[in-house]
Structure 1
Amino acid sequence: MAEKGIPMHFVSSRTRLRRAVVATCGASALLLAASATAGSGAAAAAAADGPGGHGNDPSPGGAVITVKTAKVGAPGNPSVGVVPFTDAIYQSCADAPQTPTGCLTVGGVRYPYEIGQLEVTVEQWVAFLNTVDPEGRNRLRLYDDTESSSAWPKYGQINLSANAGSGRHYSVAFPEWANKPYGFANFLRAARFVNSLYNGRLISEQSSSSGDFTYVTYRIRLSARTDRGMYDLTRPNATRAHDSGFVVPSQDEWIKAAYYDPNGGGTYSYWKYPTNEGVFGDGDATAPNPTVLNPTTGDVTNAADQPLASYHASGLPAPSWCPGQLQPEACATVNPIGLDPITYADAYQGSLSTVGQTRTTSPWGTLDQGGNAVEWTDTITAPPSGRNSARVWRRLHGGVSNAPAFQMWPSAVGLQPQDNEFYNHTYPWLGIRIGVIGDLRPGTS
């Protein structure tokens, strides 16, 4: 499969879905078809200069969230070469065959860092929304109507109530969604979340270990300031502005955490899946087992079937659930895109599962880097056309509950415009995993 500007797979119905979406959504739907084919003022900016943990946010009203990271060591590890979406890995791109899609060198990171053990959850995202938008006005476009349980029964994670009190306008649609990955992210949303962490107050930090893995648990009071921090979002091609603090992981950081085995397992010390070594060149023969979900809660029911990941295995139903508070017919038919029930059922099969319940760890102790939601990185890349573009494109990585096993390979280096508004309306599997660079320490206001 050639490199695409779309980091996911709509099972066997891609052509039919494109035609249906174009017919129902008009000109904006052409963005999907094209992709598949190929501020704050000066005072606020000054206040946002320091990373979270240095007590630089005097406002006491932000929500407090807890995030747990896995430490990734072995600085200076070797990188490998990958040809996008092919079942192979190379010691270097010099060893790779010449193809129209070229070869990418990935996975080498020269410094220690941390990466989220889990994806950012709906509950954490709701806390962020109520912190940065306490009056529910959505001026930063961090919410879309299609995210509601009424507009999209099967995938609606968050409801917005105009009549709620300050700081309470956003709510988790149903309790079962609280610990699922937030699935409607674009890069700008991910960067604002990271800026809120960066500008917030780090209340506590606690290290722990489990077997060979080392973790750090942070409690942070979120900041309402999101224009600047780790990323200056007044600049469309924002990169990291500081060498310490919370970040959106880079593609190399993400790939190393998912695949690089410091003990030398796999091929050239890289696994084929974030769940197990696998065998390059055997297709999906050594892929992890697919999850089976409780049909009304989305909890994983077959955690004993290790290794395990939430993806759509060939010849099997995709992992799926419908909130028990709803009628199954609503989940099967009601959608904001206007697709007929047959096309909808074919295109939108997989559901996000409760984070961490697969229990299968990467070489560094992360969970769900294989399967569940595809995740943003902050790595900027050229558009798939190869021509100059006014839009900023960034890499994504990870499996998808609606996609086959190949989406979990190291070579599945997807890319998308960082502000793809159409996907905000139509794609419920785009997630966030945070990272940490440098050294954070609790601070006081």
Structure 2
Amino acid sequence: MATVGDPGNPSVGVWQVFKTLGTASTNVTLPPDNSTGIYKNCKAAPPSAPSCLTVGGVKDTYGIGEFAVTVSQYVTFLNTADPDGKNLRQLYEDNMNSTVWPQYGPINYASGSGVAPGQHYSVAYPEWAQKPFNFGDFRRGAEFVNSLFNGKVLSKTSSTSGTFKYVTYKVRLSPETERGMYDMSNETPTRTASTGFVLPSNDEWVKAAYYDPKHGGTDSYWVYPTGPFDQPNISVLNPTTGDVTNADKQPLATYNPNDPNSSVDTPGAPAGTAPTWCPSQAGPSCAKTFPADFPPGLNLAPLYMGNVSTVGQTKTPSPWGAYDMGGNVVEHTDSLAPQPPGYHFLRDWRYYHGGVANAPAYQVAIYGFGYFPGDPQLGRIYPWMGFRVGVIGDVK
């Protein structure tokens, strides 16, 4: 965990590029005149803003994952939480399987009398082990956190790297995932304890990604997790392993600079193409094979251009020493978002942040707040959603 200090730091007002109720042409409005979209408070935001959100102030020191939760870590969790492989809580779905979706499926499933308890789930190919888990949502993240919360801390080690401070926890996971930091029997679970492992809140996530304790940027906040003003360079990936091959091009992030599906590519995006790869074991049809229940007749290739890179290999830290907070997978927080106008049935809306390997730079920026309705039907076709773990209080 990267330690995030400077407790009681000021918040800022941030322009939200995603309209809660958009027009027929686009739901995205970038800040005017290439501005940062950061204001001392929301009263200082222009009246033309779609909406302004006050974010980033956190009263206590806390920890946030140096990296997003990896495929290997999620597989360990699956085999702990579901040793019989019955998948009663939908912690797994078929689109995660490399046979169903070769390019994006990181986790395979096996059943039958020959499979021992706790061995039903496995990393699809070795190349996936240290990639971010990419089919996350709030509920999967919360149950992962509950497994940590109810588990046993085997060791806790402090370290430093330059100016960054870290605490490394080694935890034996618990099979109890329905209760802990979050009571999953509630319709909208929230934190139940002041100490323990958590999904970061919106403020905690934003502070860890964008707040500069040295007070650079705009009112001490960066536009990107990789720097105060300029868009990062684009990762180039090994086409069969997903390893980053251009880490010397700093600052760097795994995102798509020129998304043909977007009418609002961020002005001034660096040259480059969507970072992508396919496991060599999947063969030459890897990028052309999609789940069988996808709607027929769609041109799917332009919709699925980017793929995730190995965690940490972009080597560009946030102001607090966390990596990949821009691009790769969008990360879920535990903060409830207001239900947008036009929706009349209760949904578990949560903020998520950070952009994805398939999307332009505006989604990597501080103003790229997204809302996720907790709809599993959306999650199963969007293979760029993950989460990272946080910690509050003194966990022992």
What TM-score, normalized by structure 2, do the two folds share? 0.90
Q: Which runs of 5+ in 2 are unaligned?
A: 18-29, 32-36, 259-270
Correspondence for 1:28 = none
Deviations 1:231-268 (A, max 9, x none): 01110111110000000000000000000000011111
SS of the equivalent of 2:63 reads: strand
Q: Which residue of 2 aligns with 1:84?
A: 16
Give 2:90's match in structure 1, choosing from 141, 165, 169: 141
Which of residues 103, 117, 134 in structure 1 aligns to 2:66? 117
Instruction: Tell whether the 8 Å contact from 1:265 to 1:271 is kept in structure 2 after alignment.
Output: yes
Counterpart of 2:116 (choices 157, 165, 172) is: 165
> In the comparison of the two structures, how many residue pairs are matched?
365
Q: Deviation per CA, 1:248-306: give whole Å up to 9, x if none.
A: 0000000000000000111111011001111xxxxxxx210000000000000000000
Superposed, 1:40-439 pairs within 5 Å as 69-85=1-17, 86-87=30-31, 88-99=37-48, 101-163=50-112, 164-278=115-229, 286-314=230-258, 316-338=272-294, 343-385=299-341, 389-418=345-374, 420-439=375-394
Same amino acid, percent of matched pairs: 53
Is the Cα–Cα contact under 8 Å of residues 333 and 340 in structure 1 kept in the other structure?
no
How far off its partner does 1:435 sit? 0.2
For the residue of structure 2 that corresponds to 1:343, the secondary structure is: coil
Contact persistence 1:146–1:336 (CA under 8 A): no
* Bigger share in helix: 1
- Tell me: CA distance 1:336–1:430, structure 2 relative to 1, closer, same or farther (3 Å): farther
Structure-2 separation of matches of 1:104 and 1:415: 13
- CA 96–337 in structure 1, closer or farther in 2 if over 3 Å, else same: farther
Contact 2:64–2:388 (CA<8 Å) still a contact in 1? yes
Q: Tell me if the contact between 1:81 and 1:92 (Cα under 8 Å) persists in the aligned partners.
A: yes
Distance (Å, rounded) in 2 between the aligned partners of 1:327 and 1:338: 21
CA shift, 1:344, in A, is: 1.4
Q: Structure 1: where are the runs of 5+ without partners? A: 1-68, 279-285
Cα root mean square deviation, aligned: 1.4
Secondary structure class of the residue paired with 1:426: coil
> What SS class does the counterpart of residue 123 from structure 1 fall into?
helix
Looking at structure 1, the residues matched to 75 and 314 of structure 2 have their Cα atoms a distance apart, in angstroms, of: 24
Q: Is the 8 A contact 1:337 1:426 kept in 2?
A: no
Cα deviation for residue 178 of structure 1 reads 0.3
For normalisation by structure 1, the TM-score amounts to 0.80
Distance in 2 of aligned mates of 1:116 and 1:373: 14
Following TM superposition, the consecutive aligned residue runs of length 4 or more in structure 1 with deviations greater than 3 angstroms are: 333-342, 386-389
What's the offset of the Cα at 1:99? 4.0
Question: Secondary structure, in 3 states, of the residue corresponding to 2:166?
Answer: strand
1:394 positional shift? 0.5
Q: In the TM superposition, what is the alpha-carbon distance from 1:386 to its structure 2 partner?
A: 6.3
The SS at the match of 1:159 is strand
| Distance in 1 of aligned mates of 2:48 and 2:345 | 23
